[in-house]
Amino acid sequence: MPRRRLPLVLYAAIATSIAQPDAQAAAATRQKSLAQFDAGFAHCEKLHPDMRGQRDLAYAGVYRLKLDDALRAQLAQARGSAAYKADRKRARAAIAKNLAASAVAQRADLQCQALRREIAKNAANSAAAPAAGAASIAGPRR
């Protein structure tokens, strides 16, 4: 009995139908993780005022994402959603409750220090990138 093979178009349709719910689940997961990250980062901003305004840079660094206009737009869109706001409220309440324990407070401070290092590393990388790009555009010196 010969083996029947499904046409490539059918495989693509199956893959698309399977991937669609996963994309929606990934967006919901990103909103929840973003809300938790932002709640923790807000605590770090209170402890270290020099971290203010560096939230997107820190998020991109921690998750090894390229911080560009598209990512900034995605983050802004996620932060505007009702699901994100509800998750952020829950995360803030959990952080406030857990910070009463000294061990948790020490761990939170260590996380803040790690975020500061990540910001510094990403700021140095983004500052070095344009200089390297400018040299390659100009071409070799003669």
- Please report whether residue 133 resides in a domain: no
Q: What is the mean pLDDT of the chain?
A: 75
pLDDT, mean of residues 113-132? 75
Q: Full-prediction pTM beyond 0.85?
A: no
Instruction: Tell which wins on pLDDT, 53 or 3.
Output: 53
Distance of alpha carbon 24 from alpha carbon 81, whole angstroms: 14
| Structural domain count of the chain | 1
Residue 20 pLDDT more than 50?
A: no
- Please report whether residue 67 resides in a domain: yes
pLDDT band at 90 (very low <50, low <70, confident <90, very high): very high
Distance of alpha carbon 33 from alpha carbon 119, whole angstroms: 19
Report pLDDT for 88: 93
Distance of alpha carbon 20 from alpha carbon 16, whole angstroms: 6
Distance of alpha carbon 43 from alpha carbon 91, whole angstroms: 11
- Please report whether residue 127 resides in a domain: no
- Please report whether residue 82 resides in a domain: yes
Residue 130 pLDDT more than 90?
A: no
Distance of alpha carbon 79 from alpha carbon 61, whole angstroms: 18
Instruction: Tell which wins on pLDDT, 130 or 78.
Output: 78
Report pLDDT for 73: 92
- The H-assigned helical ranges of the chain are 8-47, 55-62, 69-79, 82-98, 102-138
- Please report whether residue 86 resides in a domain: yes
Residue 57's domain comprises: 30-120
- Please report whether residue 105 resides in a domain: yes
Max avg pLDDT among 27-36, 70-79, 95-104, 117-126: 70-79
- Please report whether residue 90 resides in a domain: yes
pLDDT, mean of residues 66-78? 91
- Please report whether residue 45 resides in a domain: yes
